[in-house]
Amino acid sequence: MSWLLLLLTIALVCGSAPVFADDDERYMNCMNSFDCGNIKGVGYPFSGSDRPDYCGYPGFELGCSNQDPEITIMRSTYKLLGVNIQSRTLNVSRSDYTANLCPTLLSNTSLNPNLLNYTSDHAEVTMFYGCPSPSPPALSISQFTCNINDTVMMGYFITANLSLLSGTAPSLTSYLTTCNNSVKVPALQSAIVPILDSPTVAQLLEAINQGFELVWSTNDSLCDACESSGGLCGYNRTTTAFTCYCADQPRDFECSSSPQAPSQSTSMSSFLS
């Protein structure tokens, strides 16, 4: 309350009341945050909900489906479980493995390495589909059955690295390589531990739905400079360049001055007159 009065006082002393209605539309829009379900207050580099695309970096468009936040990474949809802007991390889970291990479209998890990377808490589960009968005596692998496209197929999942497994169980490895398809799904190392004790489909689904953590790499120094000059970070998809949305107009890097500074008032009043 008191800082609002202070702002008003400064504005009056400088001779120009803040005319928010005349602020740049993009600046106004990028002030909004992404809010969906229990994920709230998310800003740059993300866009989505009330934040138009130009408020975020390409590849960071968020969606909201029945109050479930989601993100599309390399054309696959993931549930968004958490975002931490400070540590530049997000938790996501494969939305095609929410209920069972049998999605119609089998796809690996792939990331754009220029934008996203796994954090150190990273393990991988591999699921094999369409494996021939008879199978060798099961070892540390677990079997499941899928009916995909009206075809019943036998599958196995392993939490070990197949190339490591080839040293200890070569016959198992050569068997698994004869399966028709395989899918790799990331998981948190900590979520994998219970599967080692109890390799059931239910345990695996629980681990997959806990998601995995990713860290993003965007050019923060540009955004830091923009924000400290009073601007809001964004990206112009036409010029494919970072943009700093200032109250009066977008600029390449930073606002020429803070919103209350004299030069700003001058340009604002000349604009108004």
Q: Which residues bind ligand NAG (CB under 6 A)?
A: 26, 54, 82-84, 89-91, 104-108, 113-115, 117, 120, 124, 130-132, 148-149, 153, 161, 163-164, 180-184, 188, 213, 217-219, 236, 238-239, 243, 250
Nearer to ligand NAG by C-beta: 2 or 75?
Answer: 75
- Which value, to the nearest 10 degrees, does the dihedral of the CA atoms of residues 182, 187, 189, 194 take? -80
The C-alpha angle 262, 266, 272, rounded to 5 degrees, equals 140
CB of 140 to ligand NAG, least distance (A): 16
Helix H or strand E encompassing 225 = helix 220-228
CB of 227 to ligand NAG, least distance (A): 16
Nearer to ligand NAG by C-beta: 84 or 269?
Answer: 84
CB of 128 to ligand NAG, least distance (A): 10
Give the residue closest to ligand NAG by C-beta.
Answer: 82
CB of 52 to ligand NAG, least distance (A): 8
- Long-range contact set of residues 13-19: C-beta below 8 Å, sequence gap at least 24: 14/260, 14/262, 14/265, 15/265, 15/269, 16/265, 16/268, 16/269, 18/259, 19/268, 19/272
Identify the sign of the CA torsion 222, 226, 227, 232.
negative
Nearer to ligand NAG by C-beta: 16 or 206?
Answer: 206
Nearer to ligand NAG by C-beta: 11 or 115?
Answer: 115
Q: What is the DSSP letter of 99?
A: S
